[in-house]
Amino acid sequence: MFSESAQFSEVTSVRRHRPDYLIVLYMGLLMLLGLVIMYAIGPQRANVLNNAYGSNYGDTYFFGKQVVSLLFSLAAFAAIASIPYNLVTKNAGKILLFALGACALLAIAGWAHLGIAQQSLGATRWFNLGPLGSLQPAELLKFAILVFVAGFLGVKVKQGKLNDVNETLIPLAVLTAISMLFIVVIQKDLGTGVSLMTIIMTMLIVGGINKRIGGIILMTIIAVGTVMIISAPHRLDRIVTFFKGDDTSSSDAGSYHIEQAKVAIGTGGLFGVGVGNSIQSTGYLPEATNDSVFAIMGETFGFVGLVTILILFGALLMRLLKIMDHLIDVRLKLIVAGVFGWLGSHVILNVASMIGIFPLTGITLPLLSFGGTSMLFITAALGLVFQLSHYTVNSLNLKEAQHENFSGRRGLGRSRHASRGSFTRG
Amino acid sequence: MNLELQKGSRSKTLAAILFITMAVFVGRLFYLQIIQHDYYVGVANQEQIKRLAIPAKRGLIYALDGQTPVPLVMNQTVYTVFADPKTTTDDTKIIDTIRKIAGGNACPDLQALLNKKDSRYQVLATRITRSQADKIKQENLNGVGFQEESQRVYPEGSLAAQTLGFVDFSGVGRYGVEDKLNDELTGTDGLLQSVTDVRDVPLTIGNNNINRPAVNGKNVVLSIDRNVQSHVEQALSDGLKRTGATRGSAIVMDPQTGQIMAMANLPTYDPAKFNLVSDVAAFNNAVVSAPYEPGSDVKTLTMATGIDKGVVTPDATYNNTDYIKVDDRTITNATLGQTGEITFQHALNWSLNTGFVTVAERLGDGKSITRGARDTMYDYFYNRFHLGQLTGVEVAGETAGTVVSPTTSEGNAVRYSNMAFGQGLDATMVQVASAFGSIVNGGKYYKPTVIAGVVDASGKYIANKITQPSMQIAKSTADQVRSMTHVARDTFFASLDRPGYYIGGKTGTSQVIKNGVYSSDETVGTYLGYGGSEDLSRYVIMIQVSGDNKLLQGARDALPIFTDISNWMLNYLEIQPKG
């Protein structure tokens, strides 16, 4: 049933034109802000970790490492943006198998307590690659699912079988279940699981799932999610914490984390305390450089800064939707939809938990959080979208192009309708 | 193909979700960062700003050794040894070590304390010295810790204990100078306020950091001379043994400055072991806190009043019949037989009550103690000699006593006839000695004080200026009364004093009021005198001895103590004898 390995062989023949540089602009601005924060609170963070774990990080350790992460990520962006996308899409199945294999290997290594599996916070989520740092296979799996499911669903959409239970939904459910087994059950990473579900759901929505089936799927996800939450004490704690609200007297770790995040954001005020003056990052707020970076930015840059960050994310996401709307090949559309779901789920879940309106999920804020793997794959995904932005069509020509595309007259002069960059400038 | 998709309506759905979410986020951020900003700043300050008090050192208390301050009260750092029974490993070694090194400071039954494994804090030994603590530390006992605290130490033991007072376990001065001057001695704790990281390490972020150094307490120098004090305590103790009295008090003042050179009370206590004292009466400095009927000592003041008002002279006479009627009361002399026309000097020598009731009558119309006479006496006793009012001496617990005003019905002629020879009024020894000082120094009243100055941070002694005295009686009056007391002493006791000096004094034997009536089986013996050269009296000494159900007399019981101290003082002060 996953035999369509050559799903993307029918390349849209829209002539390659100027890509959407705004993606690079927004992404770059966000990365720069993240770098500024790493520079500002890196010394505090190093100090906290040195005192807590006896490590010996220097003042510039986090800044330096973030620079390296950014360089790797930009390289990945450039690579994925330049390698013809059909090379990626053609091999989607292989990438998926590789990602699932990596997850399986991590599970086995973790079970066998091998040094390569890095245990942290009661879960095995990372491969320890020694001096090269660590790698989170779940992020690779997200990327693999993105390209593979986009291809799979794209074909089904073309065949008009998207809502077909046996041919589409059951295979998809099996794949999803396997992925969830690795990520949520074995790696105990609900955040990444939710993100993965969002990627798939976004693709289903954009692919045109009918409302009844969509509703059933959503209900199923909620039901399974509830079971997951109840079965894992640390998740239940977070939910309980969340519903207790602004109960500062509570002293468990989850409510402490959210409370400290709110203190950081609240103290920021309109313009923030300024770079280098963050106090919450000196150990009060857990995960200051990682999942809590939004709160530290709130303290540092204030309301103005956070709204700016939200605007940048919003603009980037809107760019994705626009590119999606102006792609002809539904499989490419679905890739962009998936990236939208990926980026959107991370931003929304992270920010919502930091500002105390959603339970803590433990998910990174893309492009800003410290952390290589997450950044690497989301920039890779954005790189893919950037490449696809070469192939958008003017909205005037969309219908015709769509028509021509489905009429099977592929490869014929459609490019002449694609006025270069006319859309991307808009 | 799905038309919906081509129109992009599903992307509009996604966009709508995005917009709504972002709007909610911005609203929430506005709430947290703008509306709730002050609240969160408050929360943040509460957890991020730490305050640390820098304890101020309590001031030392010095006595004088001649003109040089010597410490009477010092501070010592002592240690409390405690254990966390949950983390101790070798209990036997801990017990052996503490027993061996801390000795008597170890708590009893250490094993039981260490067996309380649920507890995290058990005190094993208290108030051990630094060297003891160092020795215990060297043993590297697991789960044993030390707490530093400051404790008062007394190099001179119980010397001047009631004047000093003590510092209780919460660091507050109790009784004496420690209590009265507690604020000056305590100083002001410094404050170290800093924004800190989560491990309380100070950060240099923000404007909330304060570093206010501690202001140490003042080092006070008492006017108490350690040598005089020491001798007075010895003489008093000897006197009590000799007379069988159980209580004794003494004060030695410099009549030329009002400074108190010694103040002693028996029984006394050891301020280093104040917590072991069972009778808190030992803490009181009776010289300032126990008013009593001073008795015949007051006759000197009555005489001064009469002379100053010009109604009598030492050589004036009156007819002594050994009793005198005032209203419905008859006042009798304690010593009978000196009847006939006698001088007031003679009346003073024999301490005849009738003589001083006569002085009081002469302050009025000559026959009775009129309201005018009473007003005059009140003016002298209360306003000029400061009886019945607080002197302000720097020792806690001072009591005012009572001089009944003639404006009240209590202040009638009978009352004032009694006051003329020292009954019917309450005064403290420090009041009487200060009043007497204003007679022997030529009429100047000095406020009594125990403070001579301070020792500054560099260890330099800075003497206080002598407070300006107030002229209360004419110098000629003062000199005449001074001379009368010299004669009074010389008449009977000249042989006791070293020749070539000018010594004077007045005995007093006061009855004690028990259950509202004068008791016949208990009297208080006092002696009030001065000494020095004829030109200058250098000291006023007042002695009081008493005991439950003991009949103690001024001449027999208190006077020898005065003589002992007086002769010693002449030597100590290196006063040159005349001739």
Residues 48..107 of B with a Cβ closer than 8 Å to A: which?
48
A155, A208, A315, B11, B358 from B7: Cα distances, Å: 20, 12, 21, 9, 129
Assess contact for B510 and B292: CB atoms under 8 A: yes
Lowest model confidence (mean pLDDT) among A102-116, B23-37, B68-82, B123-137: A102-116
Mean pLDDT of all residues in chain A?
80
Determine which of A325, A333, A346 to mutate to test the interface with B (most B C-beta atoms within 10 Å).
Answer: A325
Model pLDDT for residues A165-213, shown as the tens digit of each residue: 888 888 888 998 888 888 887 777 888 888 899 999 999 988 888 888 8
Amino acid at B444: K
Place of tokens 């004690």: B512
By C-alpha distance, the chain B residue nearest A211 is B10
The reply to whether omega before B267 is within 30° of 0 (cis) is yes
B53 to chain A, minimum CA–CA distance in Å?
23
Give the pLDDT band (50/70/90) at residue B449. very high
B143 to chain A, minimum CA–CA distance in Å?
22
Amino acid at B119: S
B46, B337, B502, B540 from B484: Cα distances, Å: 74, 21, 12, 15
Model pLDDT for residues A292-323, shown as the tens digit of each residue: 889 999 999 999 999 999 999 999 999 999 88
B32 to chain A, minimum CA–CA distance in Å?
5
What whole-number distance in Å separates Cα of residue B214 and Cα of residue B192? 10
Give the pLDDT band (50/70/90) at residue A238. low
| Inter-chain CB proximity B47 and A284 less than 8 Å | yes
Does residue A362 come out as left (phi exceeding 0), alpha (psi in the -120 to 50 range) or beta?
A: left
Q: Which residues are bridge partners to B251 per DSSP?
A: B263, B542
Contact residues on chain B for A327, CB-CB shorter than 8 A: none
Residue B204 pLDDT greater than 60, yes or no: yes
What whole-number distance in Å separates Cα of residue A196 and Cα of residue A207? 16
Give the pLDDT band (50/70/90) at residue A399. low
Model pLDDT for residues B391-420, shown as the tens digit of each residue: 999 999 999 999 999 999 888 989 999 999
Domains in chain B, CATH or no CATH each: 224-572 (3.40.710.10)
What pLDDT does B139 receive?
83
Token code pair at residue A120: 């942290």
Model pLDDT for residues B508-565, shown as the tens digit of each residue: 988 888 888 888 888 999 999 999 999 999 999 999 999 888 888 888 899 999 999 9
Determine which of A355, A357, A400 to mutate to test the interface with B (most B C-beta atoms within 10 Å).
Answer: A355
By C-alpha distance, the chain A residue nearest B16 is A318
What pLDDT does A110 receive?
78
Query: Hey, is B414 helix, strand or coil?
Result: helix
What whole-number distance in Å separates Cα of residue B522 and Cα of residue B94? 58
Segment B136-159 mean pLDDT: 86
Q: Please tell me which residue, A1 or B473, carries the higher pLDDT value.
A: B473
What pLDDT does A407 receive?
41
Assess contact for A201 and A217: CB atoms under 8 A: yes
Determine which of B18, B26, B33, B47 to mutate to test the interface with A (most A C-beta atoms within 10 Å).
Answer: B33
Map A26-40 to HEC letters. Answer: HHHHHHHHHHHHHHH
Residue B234 pLDDT greater than 70, yes or no: yes
Assess contact for B285 and B263: CB atoms under 8 A: yes
Model pLDDT for residues B543-557, shown as the tens digit of each residue: 999 988 888 888 889
- Residue A72: other Cβ atoms inside 10 A: 16
**Which residues are CB-neighbours of B447 under 8 A, at least 6 positions away?**
B258, B391, B392, B393, B434, B467
Contact residues on chain B for A314, CB-CB shorter than 8 A: 18-19, 22
Residue A68 pLDDT greater than 80, yes or no: yes
Within B405-520, where are the H helices? 413-420, 429-440, 475-493
Q: Please tell me which residue, A224 or B257, carries the higher pLDDT value.
A: B257
B297, B328, B357, B366, B562 from B320: Cα distances, Å: 20, 19, 11, 15, 30
Name the strands in the sheet holding B190-195, side by side, starting at the edge strand that comes first in the sequence: B49-54, B190-195, B210-212
Query: Hey, is B524 helix, strand or coil?
Result: strand
Which of B15, B34, B206 comes nearest A277 by C-beta? Answer: B206
Query: Hey, is A52 helix, strand or coil?
Result: helix
Model pLDDT for residues A313-364, shown as the tens digit of each residue: 999 999 999 888 888 888 888 999 999 999 999 999 999 989 888 877 778 8
Segment B325-329 mean pLDDT: 87
Query: Hey, is B215 helix, strand or coil?
Result: strand
Selection from A295, A314, A36, A291 nearest residue B29 by Cα: A295
Residues 258..317 of B with a Cβ closer than 8 Å to A: which?
none
Domain boundaries, given as residue ranges, for chain A: 7-406
Contact residues on chain B for A333, CB-CB shorter than 8 A: 5
By C-alpha distance, the chain B residue nearest A349 is B21
- Residue B86: other Cβ atoms inside 10 A: 12
Over its C-alpha atoms, chain A yields an Rg (Å, rounded) of 22
Q: Give the start-end residues of each E strand in B185-332.
A: 190-195, 210-212, 219-225, 247-253, 260-266, 317-320, 323-326, 329-332
CB-based contact (8 Å) between B47 and chain A? yes
Which of A47, A307, A348 comes nearest B29 by C-beta? Answer: A307
What DSSP string describes A353-372?
A: HHTTSS-------TTTSS-H
Give kind and range of the element (H or E) at residue A387.
Answer: helix A372-388
Which of B22, B39, B44 comes nearest A314 by C-beta? Answer: B22
- The most distant pair of C-alpha atoms in chain B lies apart, rounded to whole Å, by 149
How many interface pairs between A and B have CB atoms less than 8 angstroms apart? Answer: 131
Dihedral angle at the C-alpha atoms of B392, B398, B404, B406, nearest 10 degrees? 10
- For A160, phi then psi, to 5°, come to 70, 25
CB-based contact (8 Å) between B198 and chain A? yes
What whole-number distance in Å separates Cα of residue A331 and Cα of residue B45? 54
Q: Give the start-end residues of each E strand in A241-391.
A: none
Segment of A411-415, B26-30, B51-55 carrying the highest mean pLDDT = B26-30
What pLDDT does B505 receive?
93
- Residue A412: other Cβ atoms inside 10 A: 10
pTM greater than the 0.95 cutoff: no
**Which residues are CB-neighbours of B517 under 8 A, at least 6 positions away?**
none
Assess contact for A64 and A122: CB atoms under 8 A: no
CB-based contact (8 Å) between B27 and chain A? no
Assess contact for B469 and B444: CB atoms under 8 A: yes
Q: Tell me the torsion sign for CA atoms A114, A118, A121, A125.
A: negative
What whole-number distance in Å separates Cα of residue A292 and Cα of residue A254? 13
| Inter-chain CB proximity B29 and A277 less than 8 Å | no
| Inter-chain CB proximity A270 and B21 less than 8 Å | no
- Which ipTM did the prediction report? 0.85
- Residue B132: other Cβ atoms inside 10 A: 19
